[in-house]
Structure 1
């Protein structure tokens, strides 16, 4: 799981689930923008005026805070104007970024987006900056800027790190307990979300993954009965989609237009509605917890579900953080990261297995072996999820390779400089500059990975077993210099261990009980879609599934 104060928020940011809108944004840079706007601004002269204003303001109002001497990349010729380059970014970011990374491995370069200039850093600086304080180089400010925080009510998460601390100080230290909790919850909710056909049936596995992840996250964050509340599940999943769409649309306009554009977006209105529903759900839960705390202080015995993250946040929050509006935003923001990091990872891994079915039996054989050695998952202390899932080394290696091949963002990690910062070689990162790294290009560099274009799910497995001292390295939960899916350094995703465990639980159940394959019209893995620097699985792709005659 991945949180807004870390580098993997961009992974969740990549999920834009409006199928038509995704395809429009890739084929016609203006289509998504106009389709979303014309419902509110009408047609004809109003749209023409806005288009003209957009072009004009793009040239004169966008921030341009750059590292001195960093060249701009992506122009087709030295005569191409900024407006043309900005226009092409949404559909051609992969080519623009890749060209810059190939030309400038040892120096910063600039990639221009409609709303900001990216300062793309060479990989050599990554280790130097890994421990720099977030007070100087902030990931939360960079990532919430991508989500239009001023217009999606996410500014609360930039004022303190309560949502980061609850994961670092509660969820991760007590990981075995939480994994066991979601294992039980998964067994209970599976039948609600996944059919049990005895013949091949087409199924929207991506929506199922989102809903499963949403329900498991709710079990941990708000507990029973809210985690079974259809409205809370709908809002926790829908909020993420609405925020992503709003952020994506706003990034296509210069900041000066954001106050106008934001108010015209249906997705922003949906965000505001989601927050109101969240407050109606969380308000009674917070009141009840306060009553329990007061009763305990009086020496009374109370019955309250233990280890709910909402309770921990309330107990460790300031008065400002404990306000209902503040707490609702933070809880939905944590859920945003948890739901979509998990669901996308599970979807990518399943697509990879369907595209390479020879690995399905390898994964099932490993599951069967662990079951024989430890017993059924959760059947004894020795078969507790943390121990049981750790034995799935080949599935873990598949996870690492799937992340490498399907990195949700071309840019990981991301930071904004809150003050001028000077590197050891004298390079100055100016205050306000947005810096990042071309993670996908690094992880597809033949000097880093052998045959990087080849899908090899046993890469990490072989590395781990190449020497005794490497058995605890090259894991899916690692945040290393050459594996950046969860970020890197002190601001890497603190919930990545939980996320990896959750994905494994879902895949173990799916592969143990079902046969899976692509629909008959598909013989190869679907290409990922790109919108700017963001990547995501094609939402139009379903799978076929049926129950196994002999489940594991």
Structure 2
């Protein structure tokens, strides 16, 4: 009888519970979602009582802050400069609060050890390392050591084979008959050219001679099938838009609350493509490291030393992390992401600026021709560094269109008080806005105007300049800047000497600005025509 009553009670209770769930589940889920979006990234403790930019209301939902920063970052920074000048303030991004410091404090910050401020932690966070794979830099800076201590000193010996590979790729892709024209999407095609040098730099011979390895280098950076078409096909609209996988994921997912990113990112096709290339890199690099490690052990140092990043990592790794093949494979992928697209963007920007300034283009072309004649076409490191006009155009391009509107970004690892009395607290993030100085009339005359030759006689493009900050500053300045400078100039020299080119539409498309990033417009089309007289 007792059992029967209990069964009857359950028979009544369960439908009632189901009814309540149906009524209240959706509103509760929505309320919980709103709560998480509102409080998903608590505001940084503003111990210095600095003014806060991009937070209109004290309890504004973080999702709203994210959206506003994502679409109107440039305007927000400009307004902040008008209001606060060189005074520090807190920038609310939605995913984090960042203390913006004046660039004049960089020399003092450069003196702080890595135990106090860290660049790797900041970049891993801002590039969503947990979903893009870039978070490997949180574990180790081994790749930076390899670039600085191995690749940069070996660069003079690498220039000839790098140039040969880039030239061959350009010959295959671009018109070779005088007068023949084609329309290209410069950013995507230049990624392929740069990938030839990156494959040599990372994998070395004979692996880099495998077309699939080169293809892997540029597929890890972009997603599409083709960038080169005969003129009539492109003009008819028959082309596919390309995208840079890592940045596309970052652009989209930075709008999404942090707790949803790891799940929703799989709705993006670029995430699936990126996951495939990460796996492909692992499948190539891990067994290759094991093979080279065994070869090193057998050779007892008698074998000729290979000049590539994988070989240097195998030789120089000391700790368990530096010897782990899977970690090294991830570092190779991170280096691929960081070297191809950014360098191709510089080349694309320079070509676009030259194409709408014919007289400047002729001056640069004459300079390149003169050095070509003097060296009989032997483009050594010294020859590439003897092009002050080209250097100036590259630097001016970077000044007006920096890769990011905030640079010198750091994560504070330990408490520290600056000479101004400003207190840095563990867990805090700091950054600077370089264009405040580079667009200052006291720094550059008529700063909003493109003057391609304004940097002649000044610092070369490859060198750190605190007025522009293209490469950052101090011990954390970009370790790959020397390689990027060489790769960019190899493409530019050949293109300027051997081709006439113009932007389709005869005007430069506006750059893509999303969050703090500035990217060359991927929909830009360039008509290139083989010159009649080529040295």
TM-score tier after normalising by the smaller chain length: 0.7 to 0.9
Give how far 1:201 is off.
Answer: 2.0
Q: Counterparts in 2 of 1:325-344, with a 5 A limit? A: 325-344=326-345
Contact 1:417 1:434 in 2 (8 A): yes
Cα distance between partner residues in 2 of 1:432 and 1:76 = 24
Contact 1:101 1:438 in 2 (8 A): no
Cα distance between partner residues in 1 of 2:65 and 2:336 = 35
1:443 counterpart = 2:438 = yes
Provide the secondary structure at the position in 2 that maps to 1:311: helix
Provide the secondary structure at the position in 1 that maps to 2:455: helix
Q: Which residue of 2 aligns with 1:208?
A: 189
Q: Counterparts in 2 of 1:14-29, with a 5 A limit? A: none
TM-score normalised by the chain length of structure 1: 0.82
1:295 to 298, 305, 312: 298
RMSD: 2.5
Cα distance between partner residues in 1 of 2:113 and 2:392 = 32
When residues 83 and 330 of structure 1 are mapped into structure 2, their CA distance, relative to the original with a 3 A threshold, is: closer
Q: Which residue of 2 aligns with 1:512?
A: 497
1:527 counterpart = 2:510 = yes
Give how far 1:255 is off.
Answer: 2.1
When residues 367 and 263 of structure 1 are mapped into structure 2, their CA distance, relative to the original with a 3 A threshold, is: closer
Q: Which moved more, 1:74-83 or 1:336-345?
A: 74-83
When residues 230 and 429 of structure 1 are mapped into structure 2, their CA distance, relative to the original with a 3 A threshold, is: same
Give how far 1:282 is off.
Answer: 1.5
Q: Counterparts in 2 of 1:26-105, with a 5 A limit? A: 55-67=34-46, 68-74=48-54, 84-105=64-85
Contact 1:209 1:347 in 2 (8 A): yes
Cα distance between partner residues in 1 of 2:285 and 2:480 = 22
Cα distance between partner residues in 1 of 2:57 and 2:247 = 33
How many residue pairs get aligned? The number is: 486
Q: Which residue of 2 aligns with 1:226?
A: 207
Provide the secondary structure at the position in 1 that maps to 2:382: helix
Contact 1:66 1:110 in 2 (8 A): no
1:171 counterpart = 2:151 = yes
Cα distance between partner residues in 1 of 2:61 and 2:273 = 36
Cα distance between partner residues in 2 of 1:72 and 1:395 = 41
When residues 48 and 512 of structure 1 are mapped into structure 2, their CA distance, relative to the original with a 3 A threshold, is: farther
Residues 236-286 of structure 1, C-alpha deviation per residue, up to 9 Å, x if partnerless? 323333322223333212323334334544433333322211122113422
Cα distance between partner residues in 1 of 2:444 and 2:144 = 32
Q: Which residue of 2 aligns with 1:480?
A: 465
Q: Which residue of 1 aligns with 2:323?
A: 322
When residues 140 and 499 of structure 1 are mapped into structure 2, their CA distance, relative to the original with a 3 A threshold, is: same
When residues 422 and 515 of structure 1 are mapped into structure 2, their CA distance, relative to the original with a 3 A threshold, is: same
Contact 2:62 2:94 in 1 (8 A): no
Cα distance between partner residues in 1 of 2:296 and 2:59 = 67
Contact 1:74 1:99 in 2 (8 A): no
The structure that has the greater radius of gyration is: 2
Give how far 1:59 is off.
Answer: 2.0
2:261 to 258, 274, 281: 258
Any unmatched runs of 5+ in structure 1?
1-45, 379-384, 465-472
Cα distance between partner residues in 2 of 1:428 and 1:248 = 32
Cα distance between partner residues in 1 of 2:81 and 2:58 = 18
Contact 2:89 2:100 in 1 (8 A): yes
Cα distance between partner residues in 1 of 2:115 and 2:322 = 19
Contact 2:64 2:94 in 1 (8 A): no
Residues 165-211 of structure 1, C-alpha deviation per residue, up to 9 Å, x if partnerless? 00110111222112222112223332233343533321122111101
Q: Which residue of 2 aligns with 1:136?
A: 116
When residues 63 and 265 of structure 1 are mapped into structure 2, their CA distance, relative to the original with a 3 A threshold, is: farther
Contact 1:314 1:322 in 2 (8 A): yes
1:187 counterpart = 2:167 = yes
